[in-house]
Amino acid sequence: MNAPHPPKVAGIDSTLPTHAHTAAPASAAPGTPPVPTAHPPNSPHTPSAPAPGTLLQDRLAGWVSDLTTLHELTERLVRTTALDAALQELLRAGAALVGARRGLVVLEPGDGLGPRTTIGLGLGRADLGHIETVPRRALPYGELLDTAAGLPRGNGDTGESVCPDLFAEDGLDPRHREVAARLGYAASYALPLTTEAAGRLGAAVWLYDEPAEPDERRRHLAGLYVRYVTEHLARLLEVERTRASMATIAEELLPSRLPRVAGVQLAARRRSGPRGGGDWYDALPLPDAALGLAVGSVTGSGPSALAAMGRLRASLRAYAVMEGEDPVAVLSDLELLLRLTEPARSATALFAYCEPALRKITLAGAGHSPPLLIGERRTEFAETSVSAPLGMLACWEAPSAEIQAEAGDTVLLYTDGLLHRTGDPMDRAFARLQTAAASAPRALRHDPGALADHVLCTVLPDGLDAADSEEDVVLLAARFD
């Protein structure tokens, strides 16, 4: 049986300094006789009470210091643009404000739309897993995740949950006692993450290694900070949901899977910008055992660009089925449609009519970068004519080009986003792309997906292939047997 521990007030760290000159002196215990002084009452050495103006000045200095601390913490917070980074900053700053060493934040929006996640400070994945085995209502923040309990009740109430001595509590859940002893925490302080507009977003809890609780000043500052954090999290959550929705729409507008055609292997890779762009690809079987390959890009970003991309891709599929053996005719029809239906928008496109049995490719491009032919003895860009994007001229027309592939050759189609994300001038970006493809190990050249991954990571190192960028990236690789 654990003996109850007297709770103590959490200490003050350097992040939130104590103003000793503003604290009231501790009163003597009842019944304790006054301590005699060494000087008579009227002695000039008798310490006099501070003037009221001095106390007010000291108190104002303390308030200014607290406001400065909050300003510095919120400045660090607003520099976070990703949801996970903001949650980590909340944990670090909150730990400094309440004088704790560890903590966790549970993101669980009350509207059920997600995302749902748990992030720890000083707690590993295994530790978080142990905490999740405790019944929800037995956790220090369990009630805060209930919408009714998590919302502040007015009159300055923050809806906080204070547990100064966990093991001294009556009716402590046995599993919670076991987990707390295992992880070595004995007290907790939790705050809900709620806003009037967004409702409940989740809860944050900080854990103490021994019985403790933050004093009134620390709790006040933590409440102010968490209130600001929650508004910031609500904005980031909306951005995160918008990005996820745009990515889902883009995925639905693109092929769910690539077709299987004898004599050729296909692979595609796509990286979307944060607002969703209009880059797309397509691969569809055509009559006479042929294969149509296409990549393109629609100007703009956001929902309108995605909608235009979907319409353009669907139209190209119809034209490819009717007259795919003539890529120029396919793009001419597409240009006419674009000019009549969306005169304010332009697009680039490249369409290739492939005959896998002959390893022959006939293609035409409209303002698009040339394909890259990757073989055992060559890595070179295909010779294509220079042409304007669709919708730029009153009547688009350009000659087609033919490529004769060899067994084992891979034709790589891509959008300009791959080049723009490098940040280099276009000539250097083209050279980087060619060098990346030429440096692919021989073992990767038998798998178009592995080859596309190698090119993507080599052309865009340091995570640029996954970093937020206004530019979409599309790669479509076709390897001929």
28 in any annotated domain: no
In tens, the pLDDT along 287-340 reads 999 999 999 998 887 788 888 888 999 999 999 999 889 999 999 999 988 888
Do both 293 and 387 map to the same domain? yes
184 in any annotated domain: yes
Question: Mean pLDDT, to the nearest integer, of 385-398?
Answer: 77
Q: Is 361 helix (H, G, I), strand (E, B) or coil?
A: strand
Beta partners for residue 190, in sequence order: 161, 205
Which residues are CB-contacts of 96 (< 8 A; sequence separation ≥ 6)? 13, 15, 16, 73
Do both 239 and 259 map to the same domain? no
In tens, the pLDDT along 407-425 reads 999 999 999 889 988 888 9
CA distances from 394 to 264, 267, 316, 389, 390 (A): 37, 35, 19, 11, 10
Do both 469 and 414 map to the same domain? yes
Question: Mean pLDDT, to the nearest integer, of 101-106?
Answer: 94
Per the model's pLDDT, the better-predicted residue between 465 and 376 turns out to be 376
Do both 399 and 271 map to the same domain? yes
Bond into 115 cis (ω within 30): yes
Do both 116 and 177 map to the same domain? yes
Q: Is 294 helix (H, G, I), strand (E, B) or coil?
A: strand
Asked if residue 13 lies in contact with residue 96, where contact means CB atoms within 8 angstroms, the answer is yes
Task: Give the closest residue to 86 by CA, choosing from 230, 209, 196.
Answer: 230
Asked if residue 167 lies in contact with residue 177, where contact means CB atoms within 8 angstroms, the answer is yes
Asked if residue 292 lies in contact with residue 351, where contact means CB atoms within 8 angstroms, the answer is yes
CATH number of the domain within which 146 lies: 3.30.450.40
1 in any annotated domain: no
Element (H, E) at 304: helix 303-323
Which residues are CB-contacts of 36 (< 8 A; sequence separation ≥ 6)? none
Q: What tokens were used for 287?
A: 């009559």
Confidence of residue 463 (pLDDT cuts 50, 70, 90): low
User: How are strands ordered across the β-sheet holding 360-366?
Assistant: 277-286, 290-301, 347-355, 360-366, 401-404
Task: Give the closest residue to 20 by CA, choosing from 52, 61, 67.
Answer: 61
Res. 381: pLDDT tops 70: yes
At which of 209, 224, 243 does a domain end? 243
CA angle 154, 155, 159 (to 5 degrees): 55
Question: Mean pLDDT, to the nearest integer, of 259-279?
Answer: 85
Do both 149 and 283 map to the same domain? no
Question: Mean pLDDT, to the nearest integer, of 172-195?
Answer: 94
457 in any annotated domain: yes
Do both 439 and 458 map to the same domain? yes
> What is the pLDDT at residue 165?
94
Confidence of residue 34 (pLDDT cuts 50, 70, 90): very low
Do both 119 and 176 map to the same domain? yes
Instruction: Please give the residue range of the domain that contains residue 465.
Output: 254-480
Placement of tokens 């880059």 in the chain: 279
Do both 455 and 318 map to the same domain? yes
Confidence of residue 276 (pLDDT cuts 50, 70, 90): low
264 in any annotated domain: yes
The Cα 412–Cα 401 span in angstroms is: 15
Beta partners for residue 180, in sequence order: none
Do both 232 and 281 map to the same domain? no
> What is the pLDDT at residue 76?
93
Supply the pTM of this predicted model: 0.66
CA distances from 357 to 211, 378, 404 (A): 77, 21, 11
42 in any annotated domain: no
Placement of tokens 């992040």 in the chain: 15
Asked if residue 398 lies in contact with residue 461, where contact means CB atoms within 8 angstroms, the answer is no
> What is the pLDDT at residue 226?
94
Q: What tokens were used for 35?
A: 């301590």
Burial class (CB in 10 A: 0-12, 13-18, 19+), 154: exposed
Res. 13: pLDDT tops 60: no
> What is the pLDDT at residue 51?
67
266 in any annotated domain: yes
Confidence of residue 4 (pLDDT cuts 50, 70, 90): very low
Do both 157 and 79 map to the same domain? yes
At which of 243, 263, 283 does a domain end? 243
Per the model's pLDDT, the better-predicted residue between 57 and 204 turns out to be 204
Q: Is 244 helix (H, G, I), strand (E, B) or coil?
A: helix
Between the two ends of the chain, the Cα-to-Cα distance in Å is 74
Phi, psi of 230 (to 5 degrees): -65, -40
* Number of domains into which the chain is organized: 2
CA distances from 459 to 127, 335, 417 (A): 39, 31, 11
Phi, psi of 181 (to 5 degrees): -65, -40
The Cα 93–Cα 15 span in angstroms is: 9
The Cα 18–Cα 12 span in angstroms is: 6
Q: What percentage of the chain exceeds 90 in pLDDT? A: 51
88 in any annotated domain: yes
CATH number of the domain within which 341 lies: 3.60.40.10
Question: Mean pLDDT, to the nearest integer, of 351-380?
Answer: 92
The Cα 15–Cα 6 span in angstroms is: 26
Res. 245: pLDDT tops 50: yes
| Helix 52-78, helix 83-98: angle, nearest 10 | 160
At which of 208, 223, 243 does a domain end? 243
Confidence of residue 461 (pLDDT cuts 50, 70, 90): confident
Do both 260 and 227 map to the same domain? no
